[in-house]
Homo-oligomer: A and B are copies of this chain.
Amino acid sequence: SMRYIVFVLVASSAIVCAYGLLASPYNPPYYWEKAKRARYAIHYNSWGVIGTISTQPKILGFPFTNIISYSDGPDSNSTGTPYFYVMNGDPSVQDLAKNNSMSFSVSEMEPGYCMIHKYDAEDPRCARITIIGHFEKVTSPSENKFAIATLFKKHPEMQTWPAGHDFFTAKIRINFVWILDHFGGSSFIKAADYYAADPKFATYRYQGSK
């Protein structure tokens, strides 16, 4: 009957939709592999929040949070270093010209991971990674070429941004990586340990749910 056909269509749609969500490729390392998990989250996500000390007259000296896109490299060459494509007109970049101390956070809310597992954004199992360090313009031509290529691949819209705005590539010189990815409190990861961790993307991404 017609009602049966409608039922089958709706039920099959719901199943395919749910499967699409559950089959999300975001499948991070275990919580005790903190350096790997931080590398994984930084590689997989595409945007985060940058924190600076404000130089804007209305909010002088306040911490100032702002949204920023980034890439740490392609899957075949994830570097762990977030590269940005920014312009001097951006208030965060203006702040960094005066004081290049910065913070940069991503959340596992972004890829839908926490929603699927029913973790609130403030649940420690919905991992948060914050990189603390110094902002640096990319000056090496080969590094700039790498940064541009990976940024434009991950953020195709960037290729269309107006040349007159003088966009340039920049990165974080990492002091520490802070992570909260389970109950029991947060941790600092030394930059050397963060860089040494093998994020094993192909393995983690498709190994099924834990």
Residues in chain A within 8 A of chain B (CB atoms): 8-10, 12-17, 20, 46-47, 49-54, 58-59, 61-69, 85, 89, 91, 101-105, 107, 109-110, 118-123, 126, 128, 130, 132, 155, 157-158, 175-176, 178, 185-186, 188
Contacts and interface: CB of A to CB of B under 8 A. Distances in A.
A66 B130 contact: yes
Given A58-B176, A101-B62, A155-B122, A67 B12 contact: no
The complex is assembled from copies of this chain, and their number is 2
13 contacts: A9-B12, A12-B13, A50-B65, A54-B103, A62-B101, A63-B103, A64-B178, A65-B104, A65-B105, A66-B128, A67-B122, A69-B121, A122-B158
Contacts of A58: 132, 175-176, 188
A128 to B, nearest CB: 4
Nearest to A157: B120
Contact of A158 (B68, B89, B120): B120
For the residues of A in contact with B, the DSSP-based class is mixed
Contact of A109 (B110, B120, B126): B110
Contact of A49 (B53, B65, B101): B65
A167 to B, nearest CB: 10
Contacts of A109: 47, 67, 110
A15 B63 CA distance: 44
Given A61-B101, A62-B101, A53 B50 contact: no
A156 to B, nearest CB: 8
A107 B44 CA distance: 18
Contact of A63 (B14, B52, B178): B52
Nearest to A133: B62
> A9, A47, A103 — which one has the most chain B CB atoms within 10 A of its CB?
A103
A111 B142 CA distance: 37
B122 A63 contact: no
B89 A64 contact: no
